Amino acid sequence: MGNKQTIFTDEQLDAYQDCTFFTRKEILRLHGRYHELAPHLVPMDYTNEPDCKIPLALIVNMPELKENPFRNRIVESFSEDGMGNLSFNEFVDMFSVLSEMAPRELKAIYAFKIYDFNVDNYLCKEDLEKTLNKLTKEELTPEEVELVCEKTIEEADLDGDHKLSFADFENMISRAPDFLSTFHIRI
Amino acid sequence: MEVFKECTDVQSNRSSYTSDESHDREEISHLQRHGWSAATVKVLASMPSRTAELNKSRRVRYQASSHESPHLSRPVKGASVLAEAEEINTEVRSDLSYSTDSNLCAAENNMDQLVSSLQGLSVSEGTRKLREMPLSLADKIEIRKVAFSLKTESSFIGRNIPCYTHLSMYISMTWRHCLFSCLPVFSSFKLWHSALKTLSGRYGTGVLSYFLFLRTLLFLNLLLFVITGLFLIIPQAINPPPSPKADFSGIELLTGTGYFSDSLMFYGYYSSETLPGDQYRMPAAYFFTIGFTLFIICIILVYRLSKSFGKNFQVLKSNKNLAVKVFSCWDFKVSKKISVRLQSEKISTQLKEQLSEMIKGEDKKTCMQQLHRLIVHLLAWTACLISIFLGTIGVHNLSGKNFNVKTTLNLPKDTELLVLSAVVSGINLLLPGFFNLCVWAEQYESPGTRVYVSVFRNLLLKVSVIGVLCYRWLESIPANGLECWESSVGQELYRLLVMDFIVTVLYTFLGEFLWRVFSQTILQKKRKPVFDIARNVLELIYGQTLTWIGVLFAPLLPGVQLIKLIVLFYMKKRSLILNCQASRKPWRATQMTTLFICILWFPSFLGTVVTIIYTVWTIKPSEKCGPFRNLTTMFEGGQMSTRHLEDAHPILKWLSWVYDCLVENPVFLFLASGVFLMVIYFQAQVVDGQRKIISRLEKQIENEGKDKKFLIAKLQDLCK
């Protein structure tokens, strides 16, 4: 069906289609996007699974991510080395989770990772402060930021340890009707 | 919903590196527990809540320590903790995946269990589960290879099915893709959608509620205009009655007399004389159209009111909204710099508003201060009520004088006709300013209370003015023996509406601008004035009430109101951006929309309906003009036409029989309202019960957490 492409083998495309929320066409399109981020680094032929990673600085320049205040954290959460260097698999994974088809539970897991700035598997007060400052671009006074963090932890913390574990976070997100539509990047 | 479980972990000196082919990315962070012995941890790791999840397919193993031991002081920035944290971070971020002694086997079991769980399912189910696993793509591909290869070995037919599932999946994916790309297009079709987004971000929800209300009124008027246009105006326009046309001079746009008095504009023009015989009877059309439009508007208003009330009584109420707002408000799709800035502004404003609601600190006042405040309040209220009373008396006398002149057959000059409407508009302009002065003197603490008090005072003013005018129109005019009293009333309403419009335009352009200049230069205030919500909303409601009353007497009046609203939107928006600023203390206006619709429903719409029913039922229509000439009441015209229709179409007889038996029978009405009340009570009880259950469950979760901490501490003690 259609033109024979030589970027991926058929088995690879099948695997991608089964493991992500993208179709074959979209995977090929994603590869095109990945390639144009760093044409000299990324080979056009992925049939033998080359091991190349694009650094963080190039990925956050994508138009979809450029103005997002959380762009660094998003890319870091999906990178295996935690420094933001994404291989093609991780790149596809990132946009798959952020696509509209991903279910709420999966998105909640990664949203938690993104907001967890110090990567300790808890959303503590410092994480919340950083999140707020990025959200409001420093328009709130420090007292207001402090107050919002306190109130947030008070509202969402169920087991009383003054930080938000993943269970607390998921419980709180379940009450957000528009989480699915806001935690979504279109590519 | 799968609850994500956490495990505690062992000490880092017992960690070992494995880079086995199980690339399951179990991110294990080794937050070291200072005093925990291996025995404690082993016990905790085999708690039922941990092990029960191993057999489920969809789980994630985040292993982190959760609870601080109560024996330890809270290690905030202790050097040892920092060192451990750094060690942990480097561990987590390395390329190798970690597992510990006690969990090594578990890790391998993990992979096997994932694979086995996938095998038991059909291909589509398995693919779905695979996609939803929170593992990295490389791991998923591995698992898929293992799971599906085993599968295809067992059943060859299984391999053929994927074609069909691929197709259906492809179709559903493309459909969803189309839907999601079309949705923003649809929402931008809503009138003024982008303008309102900008306004709400910058000025807060109070101002936004005014503009939303304006948009609602616009649609109501559009509906009204379309219906009257289709059934009344167009038939009559096609068959105009012969009438002498007066000359047109400019002043008639203001007064509505002269050229306009014998036009489609007013009641007097409509008659059944020129319409083709029995096919289209104007009295029936007039009566039923007006009745039908009022009925539809009633239903729309009740629906909107109930929806607004419903929002205020949700089970999971807004006191838990701050956290949700912080984490789910930011739209990741937004990529333009300007939109991003707008979004930040919007979130900041919303957060500030919610904060202000939460910290409503009232300072304690001494007895003297409280007494002082009480006296100030009383004085302010008395002053306002007296001013309203005086204004009403003035309107009453003036309108009496105005209409009495007409009985002497000495028709007043055009300019004299404008005096009443000018005076009413003047009162509407000046008294709200006086109310603002009173409110400023009273010094309310929260801006919300200030707005509510102003709204109430303005409402009293408008209700009394309209009440007095209606009284005048319905009591004294028909008795005066005017030739076509309905048209006169219609003209009066037209004049009021137009004069109100002109005065509002002048006030918006000059008044607000001058006030800003005044407050910034003479009063030396640094901030621009705040948008006066109470005055503007009541202006809208006043105009709308006049329109509704006027539909009976001047069917084109909704068109005039429509033009007025459109112009008003753009003017007010411009003036807002130029002259006003957001309130210094942000406040949440969640219930403003409900309040506005409530005011629109209760005094405004119901009052109109009462007035119209009174007119239709009791007052004798004029004999020489209009569709109801030569009848005792307009209602009789309606009845006659129904009888005529029944004779023409016998099918409708049963409809009228049903009407007689059911709607006019009081027993039926009582039964129906009784049933409704019981249903409402039942639902309210259910909501209440659900709220109680939720709060109890939350308490239970909290207690469980405390229990856990307690038991861990005890376990520690025992192990020592």
CATH code for the domain of A163: 1.10.238.10
Lookup result for tokens 């909290």: B702
Looking at the domain assignment, is residue A4 inside a domain? no
Residue B253: name the closest of B6, B463, B690, B556 by CA.
B556
Which of A98, A132, A166 marks a domain boundary?
A98
pLDDT at B667 over 80: yes
More confident residue, B582 or A128: A128
Contacts of residue B133, Cβ cutoff 8 Å, sequence gap at least 6: B57, B58, B114, B140, B143
Indicate the SS3 state at residue B74: coil
Domain range spanning residue A156? 104-182
Tell me the chain B residues in contact with residue A101 when contact means C-beta distances shorter than 8 Å: 173, 176
pLDDT at B62 over 70: no
Distance CA B96, CA A80 (A): 10
pLDDT for B244 equals: 67
Q: Are residues A16 and A93 in the same domain?
A: yes
Looking at the domain assignment, is residue A41 inside a domain? yes
Band of pLDDT at residue B103, cut at 50, 70 and 90: very low
Which residue from B68, B174, B352 is facing A144, i.e. has the nearest CB? B352
Cα B270–chain centre separation: 40
Q: Is the dihedral of CA A157, A158, A162, A167 positive or negative?
A: negative
pLDDT for B478 equals: 66
Whether the Cβ atoms of residue B26 and residue B63 lie closer than 8 Å to each other:
yes
Mean pLDDT of B548-557: 89
Q: Are residues A114 and A176 in the same domain?
A: yes
Looking at the domain assignment, is residue A165 inside a domain? yes
Contacts of residue B419, Cβ cutoff 8 Å, sequence gap at least 6: B398, B402
Q: Are residues A80 and A120 in the same domain?
A: no
pLDDT in tens, B591-647: 788 889 999 998 999 999 999 988 888 888 877 777 777 777 878 777 777 777 777
Distance CA B4, CA A54 (A): 32
pLDDT for B382 equals: 93
Q: Are residues A139 and A114 in the same domain?
A: yes
Q: Does B89 touch chain A (CB under 8 A)?
A: yes
Q: Are residues A21 and A84 in the same domain?
A: yes
pLDDT in tens, A54-77: 999 999 999 989 999 999 999 999
Q: Does A60 touch chain B (CB under 8 A)?
A: no
CA distance B131 to chain A (A): 5
Residue A95: name the closest of A170, A175, A32 by CA.
A32
Looking at the domain assignment, is residue A187 inside a domain? no
Helices A88-97 and A71-78: angle between axes, nearest 10 degrees: 120
pLDDT in tens, B491-539: 888 989 999 999 999 988 888 888 888 888 877 777 777 888 889 999 9
Structure token pair of residue B347: 């979130």
pLDDT in tens, B268-309: 777 766 666 556 677 778 888 888 999 999 999 999 888 888
pLDDT in tens, B315-329: 555 556 788 888 888
Q: Are residues A110 and A126 in the same domain?
A: yes
pLDDT at B236 over 50: yes
pLDDT at B33 over 90: no
Are B702 and A81 inside 8 Å of each other by CB? no
A140: left (phi over 0), alpha (psi -120 to 50) or beta: beta
Q: Are residues A44 and A75 in the same domain?
A: yes
Q: Does B352 touch chain A (CB under 8 A)?
A: yes
The chain B residue lying nearest A132, using CA atoms, is B326
Looking at the domain assignment, is residue A15 inside a domain? yes
pLDDT for B549 equals: 92
Distance CA B252, CA B350 (A): 48
Task: Give the Cβ contact number of residue B332 at 10 Å.
Answer: 21
Mean pLDDT of B61-71: 33
Are A161 and B705 inside 8 Å of each other by CB? yes
Are B166 and A169 inside 8 Å of each other by CB? no
Number of domains in chain A: 2
pLDDT in tens, B372-419: 889 999 999 999 999 999 999 998 888 877 655 444 444 556 677 788
Mean pLDDT of B7-28: 35
Are B326 and A147 inside 8 Å of each other by CB? no
Distance CA B322, CA B320 (A): 6
Q: Are residues A176 and A132 in the same domain?
A: yes
Looking at the domain assignment, is residue A5 inside a domain? no
pLDDT for B155 equals: 43
Looking at the domain assignment, is residue A1 inside a domain? no
The residue among A34, A90, A135 with the most chain B CBs within 10 A of its CB, best to mutate, is A135
More confident residue, A156 or B158: A156
Band of pLDDT at residue B238, cut at 50, 70 and 90: confident
> Percent of chain B, pLDDT > 90?
19
Amino acid at B688: D
pLDDT for B127 equals: 83
pLDDT in tens, B246-269: 666 666 677 777 667 777 778 777
Provide long-range contacts, Cβ within 8 A and 24+ apart, for B232-240. B232/B270, B232/B285, B232/B286, B232/B289, B232/B555, B233/B264, B233/B555, B233/B556, B235/B275, B235/B280, B235/B282, B235/B285, B236/B264, B236/B269, B236/B270, B236/B275, B236/B282, B237/B264, B239/B274, B239/B275, B239/B276, B240/B274
Q: Are residues A77 and A130 in the same domain?
A: no
pLDDT in tens, B150-201: 665 544 444 445 566 667 777 877 787 777 667 666 665 577 877 888 887 7
pLDDT for B87 equals: 39
Q: Are residues A90 and A119 in the same domain?
A: no
Looking at the domain assignment, is residue A167 inside a domain? yes
More confident residue, B590 or B351: B351
Q: What is the mean pLDDT of chain B?
A: 75
pLDDT at B22 over 80: no
Are B6 and A109 inside 8 Å of each other by CB? no
- Start-to-end CA distance of chain B, whole Å, equals 39
Which of A83, A98, A113 marks a domain boundary?
A98
Tell me the chain B residues in contact with residue A186 when contact means C-beta distances shorter than 8 Å: 180-181, 333
pLDDT at B26 over 60: no
Which of A82, A98, A114 marks a domain boundary?
A98
Residue B200: name the closest of B464, B696, B655, B593 by CA.
B593
Whether the Cβ atoms of residue B601 and residue B216 lie closer than 8 Å to each other:
no
Contacts of residue B399, Cβ cutoff 8 Å, sequence gap at least 6: B420, B468, B469, B472
